[in-house]
């Protein structure tokens, strides 16, 4: 069964869904393609009416949407509410700004007039993960629908009710049939969708392995793609950092969404002068997190999204220890029902340890001690990933200098606040390519057409 709602808090299966049939898939793609021909002709104002209405409906029923996310993937309820509200912000952002972002851009040739014109390209196929079951959908639906494209989506197998709820949201907001379509399809059917000539672009947020497969298939079909493939973000603590402020961000940065965030703080790189003090404060703060029902606002540690997510992470920790890493905190499953893991800190992770290169998608922090700023930057850059990162210092100018030398798509100085609709999101290296959100996010799947008007004599 590809799609099932199984609560990671109690292990109970609440609902299952069958993959759609080949005939149903064909009908969905045909409807999306037909819808594109009319949706593309709508004005920005007409499209904005639908997208803004979807944002308003999200805000009107925050709790209903949030509880579904918490049920299916274990996100703590206050975090789920925050995600729903942020998703509404994203939809509103593109409803308000798409016309400006895609307005014709005047050029200045030596003779005549010229401009760049932005136009939609067709049906976009999006493959999305479970860790932010609404936000991931809002950041594709908002820009691509406002650009005039239509969207078909394969969501993660463990959040089918979130996927269906978001599809219904767009229909309730007035989107025509085919503008936004959720596809309950298998991986094999996903390949068929990429190959289908009606699909004009492919977007993925997922693992490196998935990215390689989907990008290769899109490339074989000469279709543009965008890839967001995770990260192993550095959290750099300089010797002049305000440790009280820094530790609060360290805990949030590693433990938000139970650590299941692509741009979470994962590698803590601390200058030797403050390393012992930081590690002690960080450990004390992590120990305070208490497991419980994610529906309870008092719970500070929720479960991982699935039982397999937990067992895979525990295997990663065991492998790291077998290769010389030391467990400074946690490292085990919590002895209680549900897919809970202790907040964990690993030290002494050497370059020959698999953990040095891996992404830990859960409540596991890697701690590194370095002698100076240059060593911190070199270690931060010694990664196959390049999504985000942060640096903490009392000197903003120093922080910006360090940030400019770290090879990632995003850097944050004295914060890890990536949750703004107008901030482009994306990375380099194995973290993928392309950008979502901000004005860049709406440019990924549009045709940039040059139009020139000039009275020129044809060459002889």
How many Å is the maximal CA-CA distance in the chain?
84
pLDDT at 359 over 70: yes
- The pLDDT tens digits of the residues spanning 1-11 come to 689 999 999 99
Single pTM value for the model: 0.97
Which member of 79, 83, 167, 228 is catalytic? 228
What pLDDT was estimated at residue 1?
65
**Residue spans of beta strands (DSSP E) within 18-177:** 105-107, 113-120, 123-127, 150-154
The predicted pLDDT at position 457 comes to: 86
- Contacts of 313-318 with CB under 8 Å at 24 or more apart are 313/341, 313/360, 313/361, 313/362, 313/364, 314/341, 316/354, 316/355, 316/358, 316/360, 316/364, 317/344, 317/346, 317/364
Query: pLDDT tens across 66-77, in order?
Result: 999 999 999 999
Residue with tokens 């703080």: 265
pLDDT confidence of residue 418? 85
Rounded to an integer, the average pLDDT of 25-46 is: 98
Q: 180: closest CA among 232, 224, 144?
A: 144
State which CATH number among 3.40.630.10, 3.40.309.10, 3.60.20.30, 3.40.50.150 fits the domain covering 233-413: 3.40.309.10
Residue whose token pair is 């809002």: 138
| Mean pLDDT in residue range 13-31 | 97
Distance CA 154, CA 146 (A): 20
Distance between CA atoms of 137 and 69, rounded to whole angstroms? 13
Q: What is the pLDDT of residue 11?
A: 95
Q: How many residues in total does the chain contain? A: 460
Q: Are 215 and 425 in contact (CB under 8 A)?
A: no
Residue 228 is among the residues annotated as catalytic for this protein: yes
What are the pLDDT digits (tens) for 312-343? 999 999 999 999 999 999 999 999 999 999 99
Cα distance between residue 122 and residue 342, in whole Å: 46
Of the residues 126, 158, 162, 262, which is catalytic? 262
Mean pLDDT of the chain: 97
Give the whole-angstrom CA distance, residue 39 versus residue 37.
6
Q: What is the homologous superfamily of the domain 3-229+431-451 according to CATH?
A: Aldehyde Dehydrogenase; Chain A, domain 1 (3.40.605.10)
Q: Is 126 a catalytic residue?
A: no
CA 443, CA 460: separation in Å to the nearest integer?
39
Are 313 and 341 in contact by the 8 Å Cβ rule? The answer is: yes
Segment 149-177 mean pLDDT = 98
What sections of 148-289 are H helices per DSSP?
160-172, 187-195, 208-220, 243-255, 272-287
- The token duo for 7 is 């609560």
Contact 137, 155 (CB under 8 A): yes
Domain ranges of the chain: 3-229+431-451, 233-413
193 exposure class (CB count in 10 Å sphere: 0-12, 13-18, 19+): buried
């Amino acid at each position: 069964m590809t799609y099932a709602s199984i609560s990671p808090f109690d292990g109970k299966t609440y609902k299952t869904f069958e993959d759609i049939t080949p005939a149903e898939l064909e009908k969905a793609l045909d409807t999306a393609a037909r819808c594109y021909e009319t949706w593309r002709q709508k004005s920005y104002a007409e499209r904005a009416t639908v997208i803004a209405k979807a944002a308003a409906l999200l805000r009107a029923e925050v709790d209903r949407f949030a509880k579904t996310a918490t049920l299916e993937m274990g996100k703590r309820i206050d975090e789920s509410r925050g995600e729903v509200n942020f998703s509404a912000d994203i939809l509103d952002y593109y409803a308000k700004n798409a016309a400006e972002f895609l307005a014709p851009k005047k050029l200045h040739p030596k003779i005549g007039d010229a401009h760049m014109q932005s136009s939609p390209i067709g049906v976009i196929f999006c493959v999305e993960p479970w860790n932010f079951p609404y936000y991931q959908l809002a950041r594709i639906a908002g820009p691509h629908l406002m650009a005039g494209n239509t969207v078909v989506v394969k969501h993660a197998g463990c959040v089918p009710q979130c996927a269906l709820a978001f599809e219904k949201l767009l229909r309730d907001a007035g989107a025509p049939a085919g503008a936004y379509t959720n596809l309950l399809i298998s991986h094999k059917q996903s390949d068929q969708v990429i190959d289908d000539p009606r699909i004009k672009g492919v977007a993925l947020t997922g693992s490196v392995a998935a990215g390689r497969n989907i990008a290769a298939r899109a490339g074989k079909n000469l279709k543009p793609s965008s890839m967001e493939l995770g990260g192993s973000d550095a959290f750099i603590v300089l010797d002049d950092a305000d440790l009280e402020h820094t530790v609060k961000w360290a805990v949030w940065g590693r433990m938000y969404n139970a650590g299941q965030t692509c741009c979470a703080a994962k590698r803590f790189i601390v200058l030797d002068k403050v390393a012992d003090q930081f590690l002690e404060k960080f450990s004390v703060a992590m120990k305070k997190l208490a497991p419980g029902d994610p529906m309870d606002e008092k719970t500070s540690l929720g479960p991982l999204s699935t039982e397999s997510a937990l067992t895979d992470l525990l295997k990663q920790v065991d492998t790291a220890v077998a290769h010389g890493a030391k467990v400074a905190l946690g490292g085990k499953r919590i002895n209680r029902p549900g897919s809970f893991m202790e907040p964990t800190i690993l030290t002494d992770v050497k370059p020959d340890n698999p953990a040095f290169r891996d992404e830990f998608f859960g409540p596991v922090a890697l701690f590194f001690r370095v002698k100076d700023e240059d060593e911190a930057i070199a270690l931060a850059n010694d990664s196959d990933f390049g999504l985000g990162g942060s640096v903490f210092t009392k000197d903003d100018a120093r922080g910006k200098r360090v940030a400019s030398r770290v090879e990632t798509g995003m850097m944050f100085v004295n914060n890890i606040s990536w949750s703004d609709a107008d901030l482009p999101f994306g990375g380099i290296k194995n973290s993928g390519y392309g950008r979502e959100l901000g004005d860049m996010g709406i440019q990924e799947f549009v045709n940039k057409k040059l139009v020139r008007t000039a009275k020129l004599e044809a060459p002889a």
